[in-house]
Amino acid sequence: MSGHENQPEGFWQSCRDPIILTLVGGAIDTIGFIALFGFFTAHVTGNLVLAGAAWVKGGAGIWIKLAAIPLFILTVLITKALIDRSEHKHRTLSLLFLFEGLFLFVFMFAGLGFEPFDNPSSVHVAITGGLGLIALAIRNTSSKTLIKHISPSTMMTGNTTQLGIDLSNYLRNRTAAHKQALVKSFSIVFGFVVGAFLGAFLYVKLDFWSVAFFVVPIFYLSYLAAQQRFKTPE
């Protein structure tokens, strides 16, 4: 065995994939929230909470947030069926990243074509939000199956909890293993935060064209997976 194989991985080498995933997840969720009257493209929880609040307060757009649930489930069913039928893990992961990127592109062009959005209950808001939701439902399915060794990249409650646990462990016992765990959990939360702020900034400046900046990294991950350079569990 060569000496290179015994060397510990560098920060970017070990954290590249989760940072890219969380950065894109934070950005797309923020862009959708700003542009589409508080619609969450990345997860169901926020849409359920906002639907309940809108129902009590008499707000608009309840049907769109509720319709996100069956659309999300349907996307998961189709994606999981594709995964189950595949025999090549890296090729399937590459294909799913490709589909995610393509749906994000369509999400971007739908937003550009349907703007300005002036009615939270409009079909145009539903179509645009639904396209973004499909893209990140594909991501969430991948996260629960093919890349389940990486913490969820579209929601941060569990990851922030893990960051606190890892920080506590490191402060109590400053071993190399605890430090590595802390760096990894910090990079995930940090990537999402940067993505959220960067997505908001670019949307204000570039409107829906901002989405393009976050499609490119997903296509890059698709390429890495096709080349078997995206880390997957053994």
Average pLDDT over residues 50-58: 85
Is the per-residue pLDDT at 90 higher than 80?
A: yes
Q: With cut-offs at 50, 70 and 90, classify the pLDDT of residue 23.
A: very high
Determine the pLDDT at residue 7.
52
Q: With cut-offs at 50, 70 and 90, classify the pLDDT of residue 111.
A: very high
Residue 124 CA to residue 140 CA, distance in Å, equals 24
Q: With cut-offs at 50, 70 and 90, classify the pLDDT of residue 122.
A: very high
Chain centroid, CA 116 distance in Å: 25
Half-sphere exposure of 38 (CA within 13 A, CB side): 19
Question: Which of 150, 183, 205 lies closest to 20 in space, CA to CA?
Answer: 150
What are the pLDDT digits (tens) for 184-206?
A: 999 999 999 999 999 999 999 99
Residue 137 CA to residue 215 CA, distance in Å, equals 15
Determine the pLDDT at residue 233.
60
Average pLDDT over residues 60-79: 93
Strand residue runs (E) in the chain: none
> Letter for the amino acid at 19?
I
